Structure 1
Amino acid sequence: MDRFQGYVALVTGGARGIGAGVVRRLVAEGARVVVADVDEEAAREAFVGVEGVRVVRCDVGETDSVAAAVRYAQEVFGGLDVLVNNAFASEQGDSPAFEDDPEGGWRDQLDVTLLGAVRFSRAALPLLAAAGGRGSIVNIGSVNAEADFGGHAYSAAKAALASFTRTLAGDAAPRGVRVNQVNPGTVATRGWETRQEQLDALAERVYPLGRVGTPEDIAAAVAFLASTDAAWITGTTLRVDGGLLAVNRHFAEVVEG
């Protein structure tokens, strides 16, 4: 498919994992893509030799850095049609008890995961509005926004992102820009590299479709929402979770004895 022929996209946090998967999917469908990542070296290594990809160092926590990344997309490719807000603050180690959860972690999650998307959306909206009706923002959320899977600050930030998706959709619609969100379940990315046994157990006992997700699964959903195939969809959150939230396998096992 060439749904994005002639399109320009910008993906935040695109050096690895879901972000990298999204970049590759959009490029495969014809887009030219700017990868905005705080780890510029990793992003360049990930896409060395990939035609149509440009890399810019960007800290989504800094307004000037965000504005510079959007300007870069306009300078090198002439505009912007699609923004994918994928960058988030990663959590290290086990989640502490709520009363021991440091306030700094909450600030990091809100500043990067939520406000990073706010900053980029604000900076990009004029260009997206000038995209002739094909402007689109896709935010990467999480099933943590909808149910308790641990991580107070991360979950709260992702839930706030879903609310922001809805309110921005209403604001942007008159300007011809759609805003949607994808909520992934467990995705096999670098953060799970040392926990393969846990991934296998999740696939076997938790996920109705019998496996965890891949970056390509999420990228496919992002590409759909960003494309004109979703031209009458805005303000929605699409679960891409292998049935995790729809089916309670443990409940069924107990009831069935």
Structure 2
Amino acid sequence: MNRVVLVTGACGGIGSALCRRFVGEGDTVLALDIDAAALDSLVAQLGADRVTPVVADLGDAAAVQQAVAAAVRLRGPVEVLVANAGAADASTLASTDAASWQRDVHLNLNGTYHTVEAVRASMVERQRGVMVLIGSVNGMAALGHPAYSAAKAGLISYTKALALELGRFGIRANIVCPGTVKTQAWQARVDKNPQVFEDLKKWYPLRDFATPDDIADAVLFLASPMARVITGVALPVDGGLMAGNRLMAEELTLEKL
């Protein structure tokens, strides 16, 4: 499509899939990540003609502004933002302290705000743009990692505010909420329980999980002209997890569902 697309968290499992897919669509990608070496590897894989590395810590608003501005001077204004970067720290309230709470909220919520602010004025000036935030089903229900979940719930509200206030400038904003996605971020849990994915399947109506490419498919759709009147939407990409609790329903109905 020959657009300039900014992807944050570009070197993670979902982020690298997003970069690969947008390049495949003919777009130019500004790949933002804190890991310069990983960015160099990503550029080597996808081509320096289509991917520009942007090194920045999303927790530092000024650094994000400066890094994005430098990339824009090289490649042109950002037409699509995919705010993908995120991570989870403490898994329960009992293991959460003030420091871990701040880390999760600062990266997942504040970091996304810093990213949006780096492109918002340009999109308003140009009277067009697309923002796709990456949330989580954790922002829709209590599923552990309370600080991360609170931040992701905040992103849903923030997305709606963006859609509400920026729509008059021709800017759309939506949020994709993945369920379980098999990425490197799960490795610690796999090390703890090699059967974790099999154990989780019973909670998913489709008995299957999204892949990074499944998340990318949803993002590419929302970023495309096919979604031209879709804005303010929180879209679960979760194998049906948010549709309801099948196991509880079976106990309530005394029927096999």
Alignment of 1:1-257 (within 5 A): 5-51=1-47, 52-91=50-89, 95-96=91-92, 98-131=93-126, 133=128, 135-193=129-187, 195=190, 196-203=194-201, 205-254=202-251, 255-256=254-255
Matched residue of 1:30: which SS?
A: coil
Is the 8 Å Cα contact of residues 183 and 237 (structure 1) preserved in structure 2? yes
**AA partner of residue 36 (structure 1):** L
* 1:162-213 Cα deviation digits (max 9, x unpaired): 100001111211111111100000000002235141112222x121112111
Give the drift of 1:47: 3.5
Is the 8 Å Cα contact of residues 202 and 212 (structure 1) preserved in structure 2? no
Matched residue of 2:122: which SS?
A: helix
Paired with 1:47 and 1:106, the residues of 2 have a C-alpha distance of: 33
Is the 8 Å Cα contact of residues 88 and 145 (structure 2) preserved in structure 1? no
Normalising to structure 2: TM-score of the pair?
0.91
Cα-Cα RMSD: 1.6
Give the drift of 1:10: 0.5
Give the drift of 1:24: 1.1
Q: Kindly, what percent of the aligned residue pairs are identical?
A: 40
Matched residue of 2:143: which SS?
A: coil
Which stretches of structure 1, 4 residues or longer, exceed 4 Å deviation after superposition? none
Paired with 2:155 and 2:127, the residues of 1 have a C-alpha distance of: 26
The 3 A distance-change label for structure 1 pair 101 and 8 is same
Give the drift of 1:72: 2.5
The 3 A distance-change label for structure 1 pair 23 and 130 is farther
Is the 8 Å Cα contact of residues 85 and 138 (structure 1) preserved in structure 2? yes
Paired with 1:64 and 1:15, the residues of 2 have a C-alpha distance of: 21
Is the 8 Å Cα contact of residues 185 and 242 (structure 1) preserved in structure 2? yes
Normalising to structure 1: TM-score of the pair?
0.91
Is the 8 Å Cα contact of residues 181 and 212 (structure 2) preserved in structure 1? yes
Report which stretch shifted further, 159-168 or 41-50: 41-50
Give the drift of 1:68: 1.6
> Which structure 1 segments of 5+ residues have no match?
none
Give the drift of 1:121: 0.8
Give the drift of 1:27: 1.0
How many corresponding residue pairs? 248
